């Protein structure tokens, strides 16, 4: 009678993590949900937590020491790796053979600090005849949001980190992970670009106001329209519907043109437009 080999039960990802980091298998999920995610609203799902463990396992990163963490995002995650994590997975790559930086002589100013216009990262691989060279320009990677970021206080260091990470991606094919700066950009874009039903909100146009010279040049024609009995409020709304806006001072001036007592007729909009165009024509 032949012996039948006994198959070992397949080890779960949670069990692997528990054994690797000496954590109770039944607690590892809850610990990760509470420590390895940046959550503002809502809860982290088991699927999102599992996605983080898969990526952490792939790159041999430790989520308990924040080498990797994540933002929940539309049912998935945005996995974030700190610069120390990027450096470690690059150094642990079997083909890694060195890294160096070059800095531009040209300088630019950011928040009162002199910075290099560009930085190059040169990574050498043991299996390549030529090094991988990546140049990043400060004006293309710097962040300037309305709230404080490390770019305000350490722009040169942040610039160097960004260049290193981009070079590591190209040299070793690291994908599916982001640095914190990139992740925050992704999350900001999601918050500002989506409406309540997931539709893209159009960027609001900046309001354009009449200059004082323009207002003075049109004043005679505009006065005639109001003197013919049109309500200033109706006139202001009509003119502004054509594009440019009146300033508060200009609106106050227009209100002074109103005759007393006020009689607001109910002429159709087309008649109002004809009256306005006739007044403009007479003024030319």
- 94 or 145: which carries more pLDDT confidence? 94
When pLDDT is cut at 50, 70 and 90, the band that residue 1 belongs to is very low
Q: Which DSSP string do the residues of 87-122 spell out, in sequence order? A: HHHHHTSTTEEEEEEEE-S-EEEETTEEEESEEEEE
The pLDDT-based confidence of 114 (bands split at 50, 70, 90) is very high
Residue 245 has pLDDT above 60, yes or no: yes
- Alpha-carbon distance of 68 to 75, in angstroms, equals 18
Q: φ, ψ for residue 135 (rounded to 5)?
A: -110, 130
Average pLDDT over residues 189-196: 53
What's the Cα-to-Cα distance from 62 to each of 89, 167, 282, rounded to whole Å?
Answer: 11, 22, 79
Lowest mean pLDDT among 73-87, 113-127, 160-174, 262-276: 262-276
Instruction: Average the pLDDT over 112-128 and give the result.
Output: 96
- Per the structure block, which two tokens stand in for 96? 């890694």
Residue 7 predicted with pLDDT over 50: no
The pLDDT of 107-119, averaged and rounded, is 94
Q: Is the pLDDT of residue 2 over 60?
A: no
For the full predicted model, state whether its pTM sits above 0.75: no
Q: What is d(CA 71, CA 81) in angstroms, rounded to the nearest whole number? A: 11
Average pLDDT over residues 241-269: 70
Check residue 3 and give its pLDDT: 47
pLDDT at 95: 97
């Amino acid at each position: 009678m032949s012996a039948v080999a006994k198959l070992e039960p397949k080890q779960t990802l949670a069990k692997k993590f528990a054994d690797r980091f000496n954590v109770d298998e039944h607690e590892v999920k809850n610990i990760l949900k509470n420590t390895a995610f940046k959550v503002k609203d809502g809860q982290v799902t088991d699927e999102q937590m599992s996605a983080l463990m898969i990526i952490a396992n792939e790159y041999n990163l430790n989520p308990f020491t924040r080498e990797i963490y994540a933002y929940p995002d539309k049912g998935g995650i945005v996995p974030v790796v700190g610069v120390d994590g990027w450096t470690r997975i690059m150094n642990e790559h079997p083909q890694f053979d060195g890294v160096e930086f070059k800095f531009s002589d040209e300088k630019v100013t950011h928040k009162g600090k002199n910075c290099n216009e560009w930085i190059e990262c040169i990574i050498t691989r043991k299996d390549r005849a030529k090094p991988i060279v990546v140049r990043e320009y400060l004006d293309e990677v710097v962040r300037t949001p309305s709230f404080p970021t490390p770019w305000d206080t350490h722009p040169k260091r942040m610039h160097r980190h960004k260049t290193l990470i981009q070079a590591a991606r190209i040299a070793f094919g690291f994908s599916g992970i982001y640095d914190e700066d990139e992740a925050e950009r992704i999350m900001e874009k999601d918050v500002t670009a989506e409406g309540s039903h997931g539709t893209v909100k159009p960027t609001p146009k900046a309001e354009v106001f009449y200059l004082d010279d323009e207002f003075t040049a049109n004043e005679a024609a505009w006065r005639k329209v109001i003197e013919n009995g049109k309500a200033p409020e109706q006139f202001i709304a009509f003119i502004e519907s054509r594009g440019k806006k009146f300033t508060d001072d200009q609106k106050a001036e227009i209100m002074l043109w109103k005759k007393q007592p006020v009689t607001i007729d109910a002429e159709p909009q087309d008649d109002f437009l004809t009256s306005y165009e006739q007044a403009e024509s007479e003024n030319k």
